[in-house]
Amino acid sequence: MVARVATVAFLGIEAVPVDVQVQIAPGLPKFLMVGLPDKAVKESSERVRAALVASGLGLPPKRITVNLAPADLPKEGSHYDLPIALALMAEIGAIPRDALDGFLALGELGLDGRLAHVQGILPAAIAAHGRGLGIMCATASGPEAAWAGEDIDIVAADSLLALVNHLTGHQLATRPQPKRYLPNTALPDLSEVRGQQVARRALEVAAAGGHNMLMLC
């Protein structure tokens, strides 16, 4: 069988639906990632593997294929870590498959299984709300996701293990309240803008050279 978890890809501020599909089949041990992943996405295989080990789980010595559909849409960013990990856990039977139904997931995993904030949480939450889905994310991302609406189901956890405990009903996470995410710098950053490379480059050059810019709307 194939385990599936919903997530998104970002085109500017638009969150495009992406279906993370995982299959574990007999064969030589190998971890394959397909669907136009960039380097950060390809490296998620090592982060996910280490996070699962830190959570007390291990991957079987089989052929693991992860497909990010649609295959013709470029995928970039570290937010694919969480949906890939959840799909793998569902495939090996660590969590019930139906526990992932009705949710969209995104988040970056540390080697110790901790979940980190990623950019684009609010557009992703709005997209999830528009599709009638809830959202799974890091605790740091939960308050930002809460701005998408009072009726959206939000599961925000500190770690992969805490998220599993919520999904299995052992320790339920509380719903976060709307609040702006403030990094340590507490200043806006162009890294929060996905896509729009030409516009970002123009802003960076203007800022670096102290030039003026005229924005026409």
Per-residue pLDDT of the chain (217 residues; tens, 9 = 90+): 899 999 999 988 899 999 999 999 999 999 999 999 999 999 999 999 999 999 999 999 999 999 999 999 999 999 999 999 999 999 999 999 899 999 999 999 999 999 999 999 999 999 999 999 999 999 999 999 999 999 999 999 999 999 999 998 888 888 998 876 666 655 666 766 767 778 888 888 888 888 887 777 6
Domain chopping of the chain, boundaries: 3-181
Strands 154-157 and 134-138: parallel
Q: What is the largest CA-CA distance in the chain?
A: 60
What is the second-level CATH architecture of the domain 3-181?
Answer: 2-Layer Sandwich (3.30)
CB–CB of 107/81 below 8 Å?
Answer: yes
What three-state secondary structure class fits 138?
Answer: strand
Query: What is the Cα–Cα distance from 50 to 69, expressed in whole angstroms?
Result: 24
DSSP state of 75: B
